[in-house]
Amino acid sequence: MKGYLRKDGRKGIRNRVLVAYTVECAHFVASSIADSFSDADVHLVGFGGCAPNEYANLLMERLCTHPNVGAVLLVSLGCENMDGEILRKKAEASGRPAGRVVIQEAGGTRAAVEAGRKWVEGAIATLRQAPVCELSWNELTVGTICGGSDASSGITANPAVGLTFDALVDLGARCIFEEPGELLGCEESLRQRGADPRTGEALAECIRKADRYYKAMGHDSFSEGNATGGLTTIEEKSYGSYAKSGSRTISGLLYPCDIPPAPGLYLMDVVPDGEARWGFPNVSDNAEIIELIATGCQIVLFTTGRGSVVGSAIAPVIKVCGNPLTYAHMEEDMDVNAGAVISEGRSLEEIRDVIMAKISACADGVPSKSEALGHREFALEYKYFNRSEVPGCPLR
C-alpha cells in the first residue's frame, strides 16, 4: 500500500486540500472556493456555530492536521469566537501548507473568494510534488459505524466487519468502534473484554451513561426504519451493532479527537458528559463519521441493511451491505455484498477477506463507491466532554 508521510509520523492515504470555515457566516465563501475545484481533491468542512465550544475547536484542529490532509485553507469572517489564525498556525506547525482568508479584511465576498482560489491553486500544485511512501497495515487507523440497519445487519455485515477488525488488530492496526447508544444491553460483554478491570468498568459506565442520556432525551437510537427492516428492540439492534467490534481485547475508551495511543481496539464514547442539554448525541451518521475521522481514522467501514448513500469529507467510506436485496437495488453505492452470506451461502470469513481487499485497494488509491460518486458530506455539532482520566485516552 502507498501513503503520504506527515511530520508527526502518521501516514495518510489521500493528499487532500482542506477548505475549512470557522463560522457559519463564512460558509458561502468557503464553499464557493472549494466548488471552484470540483475536479480536484479539495474538500470542505467547517463549524456552523459561533459561540465558543472546546469540543468543536479540538475537532477542527484534528481535521486540519489529519493524515489524509496535505494542505489547509482557513476561511474566517473575522469577528467569530473560533480563532482561525491559531488553527492555521497549528496546521502549519504540523508541516502542511496553511493559509487563511479573512472576509472582513479581504473586502467582502468576491475578493475573499478570489484570494482563496489563488491560494488553493498554489496548494494543489505543491501537493502534486508530494513524495509517496510505503504504508503497512500497522500504520492504519480504521473506524466503523452502522446506519440504516435491518434484521440482516447483525448476522452478515456487522459480524463480517467484526472479523475484519480482529484481522486488523492482529496486524497491528488501530481500530475504533462507537455508538454507545446502540450498545445498550452490552455492558457486561464490554466489561469482560476490557484490557484490565479499570478499563472494563469504564466501558460499562460509558453505556450506562448513554442509557441515562437517551432516557433524559425521551427517545433512544431505535428508528422506524429499523423496525420496518425487521428489528424488534434496541437490545436486538445493540447486539447486532456490537458484532462490529469483533472479539479482541478492548484496549481503551476514547472521546472524539483522542488519537489512539497504541495499536489495538478502542471504543469511542460520543455521548456528551453532564446533563442532557446538547440534543441528540449524533444528529446524523455523518456527525459520527467525522468524529471517527477526527480520532485519526484514514478509512471508515459503514455497514447498512436498508441502504445508505453517505460518504464523507477527508476519509473514504467503504459501504458493507448486509441485505442482498438492498445490494442488488443500490449496487452503485455499495462496496461489499455481505448479504451474499444469505443469498449465496458465502461464509463470514469470505466476506472478511473481501473487506480486507477493499481496504487495501482503497488505501492504495482506488476510490470507494461514495468517493467515486463525489460524496463529501460533513457535520459538526456542539458537545461537552469532561476530559478526566479514562483508560486508553492519551489526552487525559
Of 133, 153, 178, the one marking the end of a domain is: 133
The answer to the question of residue 121 being in a domain is yes
pTM of the entire structure? 0.94
Percent of the chain with pLDDT over 70: 93
**CA 73, 78, 84, 88 torsion-angle sign:** positive
* Residue-wise pLDDT tens digits, 123-157: 999 999 888 999 999 999 999 999 877 778 888 99
* Residue-wise pLDDT tens digits, 292-342: 999 999 999 999 998 999 999 999 999 999 999 999 999 999 999 999 999
Distance CA(122)–CA(198), nearest Å, equals 50
Cell 481514522 identifies what position? Answer: 297
Per DSSP, the residues of 180-211 read GGG-TT-HHHHHHHBSSHHHHHHHHHHHHHHH
pLDDT of residue 279: 78
* Residue-wise pLDDT tens digits, 234-287: 666 666 778 999 999 999 999 999 999 999 999 999 999 988 887 778 788 999
Query: 262 exposed, middle or buried (CB, 10 Å; 0-12, 13-18, 19+)?
Result: exposed
pLDDT of residue 395: 41
Query: Average pLDDT of 155-177?
Result: 97
Distance CA(22)–CA(83), nearest Å, equals 8
Domain that holds residue 204: 137-373
- The one-letter code for the residue type at 371 is E
Please check the confidence at residue 181 and state whether its pLDDT lies above 90.
no
Round the average pLDDT of the chain to a whole number and report it. Answer: 92
* Residue-wise pLDDT tens digits, 191-242: 999 999 999 999 999 999 998 998 888 776 656 556 565 655 666 666 677 8
The answer to the question of residue 394 being in a domain is no
* Residue-wise pLDDT tens digits, 317-326: 999 999 999 9
Beta strands in the chain (DSSP E): 2-5, 11-12, 16-21, 42-46, 69-76, 98-102, 133-134, 141-146, 174-177, 250-254, 264-268, 299-304, 317-321, 336-337
pLDDT of residue 393: 56
pLDDT tier for residue 396 given thresholds of 50, 70 and 90: very low
Domain shared by 129 and 30, yes or no: yes
pLDDT of residue 276: 83
Of 107, 133, 159, the one marking the end of a domain is: 133
The answer to the question of residue 150 being in a domain is yes
Domain shared by 233 and 324, yes or no: yes
Q: Note whether 254 and 266 are within 8 A (CB).
A: yes
pLDDT of residue 232: 56
Structurally, how many domains does the chain consist of? 2
Domain shared by 204 and 315, yes or no: yes
